[in-house]
Chains A and B, each alone.
Chain A
Amino acid sequence: MAVLGFIVNILSTPAILVGLLALLGLVLQGKPAEDVLKGTIKTIVGFLVLGAGSSFLQSDSLLAFGQVFNYAFNMQGVVPNNEAVVADALKNFGSDSAIVMACGMVLNIVLARFSRMPYIFLTGHHTLYMACMLTVILGGAGGLTGPALWLAAGSILGLIMVLSPAYCQVTYRKVTGGDAIALGHFGGIGYWFAGVIGKLFAKDPNRKSTEEINFSKRLIFLRDTTVSIGITMFFLFLIVTGVAVARGILNVDPTNEAYSHLGVLLNYNQETTTNWIVWCITAGLSFSGGVYIILSGVRLIIGEIVPAFKGIADKLVPGAKPALDCPVAFTYAPNAVIIGFLSSFVGGIVGLLILVGVNAAIPVALILPGVVPHFFCGATAGVFGNAEGGLKGCIAGAFAHGLLITFLPAICMPVFTNLGYTGTTFSDADFSWLGIVFGNLVHFAGGAVLVAICVVLYLLPIIYNFVAPKKEAKEA
């Protein structure tokens, strides 16, 4: 029994479990022993680093932000950041998320082979984040556990790993000028939407591509996530704390539970005194520091798993198309990247103002515009809009995308709030729409029914492939 207990203990220790998955991948690739050892250890360390980053981000920045925001505006302010929410959720759902990720990758290969969506999703960090989100929703809210959870969440993960590249491909083939590669980024529905909006300008007689105009590329420095998160969070802290200070936060009783994370700001139990503006600088940049640590951890984890996944998929699915991260799209239209970012960011601010208005009638979470989602997703949306409708398509498509990634997380927020994740949420569009669909589905279906729904959804594209007439047959 001691042996069994030991095995169960290993499988329920997420860091070791993730390490074992990497080990399996490395062995399957036939790597030499030292590479296997190196890769396994790096993966385990990565998982531990991720947890450390999360603790730092939560305790030194995010929790304090929530408390100050609440004091200043008496509302719930949410900073959308995938890394922050995933790293926190992995503390409770680490082992299940790891197994779901592995199941999802296997099921991705099966779908790529037997459906008409031959995509292999190679953006490993998004696979990890999506595995985590589905596990939290189907396990945490849906009550599924063990193999039922792995099967249900793995099925949906495998499905979205081909579905998201498939709906992006409508426009993405116009971006890349071919069908050789696909887009693997879970902002997918937002890009598709930007393409649809961009298309409204397709017949414009004065149509001009973003690449035909001169546009300053100076904002490109925001591509450095450490810098862009630091700047955004500093300003958010400065504005919110400024309002809170004006409303007298510095004179509250620091022992009150509502201010438990504000010791430094309130100079309570500290050896030194800190000015509130100085506090904003360190608290804002700590958020960036936390994300930097988390990203280092994620990099170590997926750095071993993705090459193994690609190697296996290449052997099993001849003619598969790699679905790659969004910066691949940026090289095709560098001007659209900057214009798309700006337009999406403006959309995010307009969306926030609308939410403030809605909040007066129905209480909603206020989704604050983060530079990272607007830069990466907004830029991609801009590239999509430009491919369909030129400069006007780029501006309109990215703006619509900015609204979308503000409203979708706001609609999705109750799902996560119920699970105890309040200060932050997923930023990219596919996480939100799946979160909304499955977060609400679990109220109507549970247990075997829920698992069956997930599995049937997964099987649909395969059944369609075998039942529906093929296009080639029609032409013949």
Chain B
Amino acid sequence: MAIHKILCCCGSGLGSSLIVHMNTEEVVKKLGHPEIEVDHSTISDIHEGAADLFVVGGDLADFVNNVPDDKKIVLKNILDKNELEEKLKAHLG
């Protein structure tokens, strides 16, 4: 399924998710998909349909348990752009 919207999430949806949001935007552009909308919010907002792909840090993996694997990315290191790029590539095809 095509990905139109990526949502990066953290506890209160203010600090670390915004950093991941900025990184994701950069990587998505680099991968040639500038049309994809990237946003960030709180983990309260994770539910089917809110986005096509959710990005969270490993410490929040429990919050995406109900999300199918092809709709989520769980980052070991939320600051590592290489890990992010690798995982985004796999999803964007």
A→B interface (CB under 8 Å):
122-126, 181, 184-185, 217, 220-221, 223-227, 292, 295, 298-299, 302-303, 306-307, 310, 322, 324-328, 330-331, 334, 337, 376
Residues of B within 8 Å of A306, CB to CB, are: 18, 22
A324 touches which of B15, B58, B62 (Cβ 8 Å): B15
Known: A124-B18, A227-B44. A327 touches B11 (CB 8 A): yes
The reply to whether A124 and B57 contact each other, CB–CB distance below 8 Å, is no
Known: A226-B42, A331-B78. A295 touches B14 (CB 8 A): yes
B→A interface (CB under 8 Å):
10-16, 18-19, 21-22, 40-44, 57-60, 62-63, 76-79
Residues of A within 8 Å of B21, CB to CB, are: 303
Closest Cβ–Cβ distance, residue A101 to chain B (whole Å) = 15
The reply to whether B44 and A226 contact each other, CB–CB distance below 8 Å, is yes
The reply to whether A224 and B44 contact each other, CB–CB distance below 8 Å, is yes
The reply to whether B14 and A124 contact each other, CB–CB distance below 8 Å, is yes
Please classify the interface of chain A as helix (H, G, I), strand (E, B), loop, or mixed, using the class held by over half of its residues: helix
Known: A226-B44, A227-B44, A310-B22. A330 touches B59 (CB 8 A): yes
Known: A223-B60, A327-B78, A376-B11. 7 other contacts (CB 8 A): A125-B14, A185-B15, A299-B13, A303-B21, A324-B16, A327-B11, A334-B58
Residues of B within 8 Å of A225, CB to CB, are: 11-12, 42, 44
The reply to whether B59 and A337 contact each other, CB–CB distance below 8 Å, is yes
> In the complex, what distance in Å separates the CA atom of A303 from the CA atom of B18?
7
Closest Cβ–Cβ distance, residue A201 to chain B (whole Å) = 24
> In the complex, what distance in Å separates the CA atom of A331 from the CA atom of B58?
7
The reply to whether A224 and B59 contact each other, CB–CB distance below 8 Å, is no
Interface centre among A181, A220, A224, A327 (most CB of B within 10 A): A327
The reply to whether B11 and A331 contact each other, CB–CB distance below 8 Å, is no
Residues of B within 8 Å of A331, CB to CB, are: 57-59, 76-78
> In the complex, what distance in Å separates the CA atom of A310 from the CA atom of B22?
10
Residue of B nearest to A292 (CB): B44
Closest Cβ–Cβ distance, residue B11 to chain A (whole Å) = 4
Closest Cβ–Cβ distance, residue A210 to chain B (whole Å) = 13
Closest Cβ–Cβ distance, residue B79 to chain A (whole Å) = 7
20 contacting pairs across A/B (C-beta < 8 A): A220-B60, A223-B59, A223-B60, A224-B44, A225-B12, A225-B42, A295-B12, A299-B40, A303-B21, A306-B18, A306-B22, A325-B10, A325-B14, A326-B15, A327-B78, A328-B79, A331-B59, A331-B78, A376-B11, A376-B12
The reply to whether A307 and B22 contact each other, CB–CB distance below 8 Å, is yes
The reply to whether B19 and A325 contact each other, CB–CB distance below 8 Å, is yes
> In the complex, what distance in Å separates the CA atom of A204 from the CA atom of B75?
34
Closest Cβ–Cβ distance, residue B32 to chain A (whole Å) = 18
Residues of B within 8 Å of A226, CB to CB, are: 42, 44
Residue of B nearest to A126 (CB): B15
Closest Cβ–Cβ distance, residue A417 to chain B (whole Å) = 27
Closest Cβ–Cβ distance, residue B58 to chain A (whole Å) = 6
Q: Which 10 residue pairs across A and B have the least CB separation, nearest first?
A: A325-B15, A327-B16, A223-B11, A226-B44, A125-B14, A325-B16, A330-B59, A123-B15, A225-B12, A331-B59
The reply to whether A324 and B79 contact each other, CB–CB distance below 8 Å, is yes
> In the complex, what distance in Å separates the CA atom of A260 from the CA atom of B21?
44
Known: A224-B42, A331-B57, A334-B59. A302 touches B18 (CB 8 A): yes
Interface centre among B12, B21, B58 (most CB of A within 10 A): B12
> In the complex, what distance in Å separates the CA atom of A331 from the CA atom of B77?
7
> In the complex, what distance in Å separates the CA atom of A307 from the CA atom of B26?
11
> In the complex, what distance in Å separates the CA atom of A462 from the CA atom of B31?
42
> In the complex, what distance in Å separates the CA atom of A81 from the CA atom of B41?
20
> In the complex, what distance in Å separates the CA atom of A232 from the CA atom of B39?
29
> In the complex, what distance in Å separates the CA atom of A170 from the CA atom of B9?
29
Closest Cβ–Cβ distance, residue B68 to chain A (whole Å) = 21
Closest Cβ–Cβ distance, residue B15 to chain A (whole Å) = 3
Residue of B nearest to A303 (CB): B18
Residues of B within 8 Å of A325, CB to CB, are: 10, 14-16, 19
> In the complex, what distance in Å separates the CA atom of A189 from the CA atom of B79?
24
> In the complex, what distance in Å separates the CA atom of A330 from the CA atom of B76?
11
Residue of A nearest to B58 (CB): A331
Closest Cβ–Cβ distance, residue B8 to chain A (whole Å) = 11
The reply to whether A328 and B16 contact each other, CB–CB distance below 8 Å, is yes
